[in-house]
Chain A
Amino acid sequence: MGNLVEIKKLSKNYFNKKALDNLDLNIEEGKVLGILGPNGSGKTTLIKILTGLLRQSKGEVLIDGHNVGVYTKSIVSYLPDRNFLYNWMTIEDAFKFYIDFYSDFDLKRGEELLDFMKLGKDMKITSLSKGMTEKLNLTLVLSRKAKLYILDEPIAGVDPVARDQILDAIIKNYDSNSSMIITTHLVRDMENLFDDVAFLKDGGIILKGNAEKLREEKGKSIDEIYKEIFSK
């Protein structure tokens, strides 16, 4: 299987601060990659470059063989780390918004997921709890038939029941024709979802590999490896 995403010598500076430093990373087709690191390690900067919200200072990013731009945006479905819907909307409006914006939006899948999340179309965005908002955002993002899903901290700050529903929805909607990038620092809750993991520290990858191989080689869970790396 080929690489859907190729990142070569990627750097991003904010004035004097290096947010990403010479980072190399590939994502294979059909794989789920976990990008793991504490706050401030560069996860969100990396994601913003992949989604075209920021431009890199140096280096190359190819998604499905293309530089980040109109084409890559059409095949990438992105869950930001905060709510992206307007307060005046109902869930119905949010669906219409997505249908208008994205030709790959699958309404049937969306309605099934909404049902699974126990959300109703007449609910108002302002009336939703944090967990419900997260579930709605994820529903919209997963309902696109994208080649690459990028989920930035999908379970941060939600209660355990919502967390399980979110994990379930991710698993149910995973298919081998697309890839997924999930960033998190909640490694224990999410590690069983990953095919591959990359540990991000101070803007660089300090360890990456197949999750099962790392468990085997180190005799440790990914969570333990994470703690070992970042508690130093």
Chain B
Amino acid sequence: MDFNDKLPIYIQIMNYLKRKITSGEISECDKLPSVREFSSKLKVNPNTVQRAYQELEREDLVFTKRGMGTFVTEDDDVIMKLKKDTAKEVISNFIGEIKGLNFDDDEIIEIILNEIKKED
């Protein structure tokens, strides 16, 4: 994983793990790597990984089992909410850019529908 320079490292680690969760690469109940293992892999201070895990726990995306490690939530609703939040973010970026091209709403929807058909 490459770190972008502008953001605190713990936030980048959180975003990285969120992407893995939304894409299903890490699924419900999976165990995250231990803080030590992960910090060694990423070459970052263990306190930073610890902080990322704590913040993810505060957002209910992961939970810790005493002496066992950190696990991804079992709650589908929480993961669905994360997906929807991520989707909102993607779409709001997209809308910002496409509005810059001066299309009206109907045109935008038409373009999207056409593209989705192509993908299928």
A residues engaging B (CB < 8 A)? Answer: 30-32, 164, 167-168, 171-172, 174, 176, 192-195, 211-213, 215-216, 219-221, 223-224
Contact = CB atoms under 8 A, between A and B. Distances in A.
Interface string B6-23: 111110000000000000
B43 A164 contact: yes
Contacts of B5: 220-221, 223-224
Contacts of B109: none
Interface string B39-50: 110111111100
The prevalent SS among residues of A at the interface is helix
B45 to A, nearest CB: 5
Given A172-B36, A192-B3, A192-B48, A212 B43 contact: no
A220 B9 contact: no
Given A172-B36, A220-B6, 15 more contacts: A168-B43, A171-B36, A171-B40, A171-B44, A171-B46, A172-B40, A174-B45, A192-B44, A193-B44, A212-B9, A215-B8, A216-B8, A221-B5, A223-B5, A224-B5
A215 B6 contact: yes
Contacts, number: 54
The prevalent SS among residues of B at the interface is helix
Contact of B9 (A30, A168, A172, A215): A215
Interface of B: 3, 5-10, 36, 39-40, 42-48, 51
Contact of B43 (A32, A167, A211, A220): A167
Given A172-B36, A215-B6, A195 B47 contact: yes
A135 to B, nearest CB: 16
A193 B7 contact: no
A219 to B, nearest CB: 5
Nearest to A223: B5
